[in-house]
Amino acid sequence: MPRRAPTRAELDRKARWIQRGSRTKADLRIIDLGDGPQVIKDFSRKPGWIRWFGRLQIARECAAYRRLGPAAGFPRLIGRIDGHALSLSCIEGGQLIHAPTRFSRGADYLEQIGACLDRLHAAGVFHLDLRGRHNVVLSTDDRIHLLDLAGAVCLRPGGLAHRLGSPLLRAVDDAAYLKWKWILEVGEYTEKERRRVRRHRFWRSLWFPNPKRR
């Protein structure tokens, strides 16, 4: 029987807090309806204009998870609760950056990150926020999971937008993959990888919201 997302009434009665998001970030809560825990991303308690922004973000994230489908290495979308909230399967584990095995098993973890990205890109989805260390989780069964598709871009594989835009979007995810290679200390960069890192740093330095540029 398919799992269902909680109603808003169930959410208000039974959910426990995980984290109150910053001003523009969703609040995170957890609820169990008897078939395992679900993680809730919710903008309903935010100020008015943030709720409007949250509706767009929730719709965007739902679209990304639906396009991806039940792929290994990602949470499952259980459902959209309303315009302000969605429900995802809960990944038991912790951030890879804090795992005591991150160096001894770094090559394996990096390979898993690469495989997750391959599945994502095959579906026409580009993460774009994999540099955020909180978005790469090691589950209790020692498997890598990528979280948070709120900033992802979805393009129909084979479409004109995909043909034109995918090289640049893929390059952003590839640069994040190389950052994880450095974090996990999985060998030296090849000369080709060094060029890719330098190119990404140059373009990133031109992006006006970049705090290092400011």
For the chain, which residues make up each domain, given as ranges? 8-89, 93-205
Task: Provide the mean pLDDT of the chain.
Answer: 93
Note the pLDDT tens digit of each residue in 120-152.
999 999 999 999 999 999 999 999 999 999 999
For 71, counting Cβ atoms within 10 Å of its Cβ (0-12 exposed, 13-18 middle, 19+ buried), the class is middle
C-alpha dist (Å) from residue 31 to 6, 35, 115, 134, 188: 8, 10, 30, 21, 43
Structural fold of domain 8-89: Phosphorylase Kinase; domain 1 (3.30.200)
Decide: pTM greater than 0.85: yes
Residue 60: is its pLDDT beyond 60?
Answer: yes
pLDDT digits (tens, 9 = 90+) for 16-40: 999 999 888 999 999 999 999 999 9
- Residue 7: helix, strand or coil by DSSP? coil
Residue 209 — pLDDT band, cuts 50, 70, 90? low
3-state SS of 97-137? HHCCCCCCCHHHHHHHHHHHHHHHHHCCEECCCCCCHHHEE
What CATH superfamily is the domain 93-205? Transferase(Phosphotransferase) domain 1 (1.10.510.10)
